[in-house]
Amino acid sequence: MITIKQISPTDTYNLRLEVLKTNKDYIYQYKDDFNIKTIHYGAFLEDVNVGIVTMMKNKNPLLEGKQIQLRGMAVKPKEQSKGVGKELVKKVVDVSVEKDVKILWCNAREHVVDFYKKLGFKIKGKRFYIEHVCYHYLMYKEL
């Protein structure tokens, strides 16, 4: 059974490095990690953190309405395709709705676009490159 708990920013760093690091210059510490409005969640299986996500108050100029950015989502490779990511996104959606957020958005890596589409996200705009990482799409979900 997957349990989602709020965690500290530093509790996200190991999984960000393990799953998201694409090269030696990958920046795994985000500028707003310690902002009071930033929330981090971990997904736990038998008390082992197997997934993470960060939600930040951040406005994308291509979208309208009150927004939250989903950022730094990562699931241990052995636990992918087992519902961990889906539970993390569900938690972020639930918290966003409680905060009267209208748009949840993320910069989705190209290889996870279908995952987000299955959860009701849509693509906005064209593919773009984030330096030291890979190609992404801006994806959003109306709440």
- Residue pLDDT, tens place only, 15-27: 888 888 776 666 7
Domains of the chain: 2-142 (3.40.630.30)
Cα 110–59–16 angle (5° rounding)?
A: 45
H/E element, 126:
strand 122-129
pLDDT at 56 over 90: yes
Q: Among 53, 46, 47, which Cα is nearest to 15's?
A: 53
Share of the chain above pLDDT 90, in %: 77
Rounded to an integer, what distance in angstroms lies between the CA atom of residue 56 and that of residue 17?
A: 19
- Alpha helices (H) along the chain: 13-15, 84-98, 113-118
What is the 3-state composition of the chain as percent helix, strand, coil, each rounded to the nearest 5? 25, 40, 35
pLDDT at 98 over 90: yes
Mean pLDDT of the chain: 92
- Name the pLDDT band for 104 (thresholds 50, 70, 90): very high
Strand partners, 123: 139
Rounded to an integer, what distance in angstroms lies between the CA atom of residue 109 and that of residue 133?
A: 9
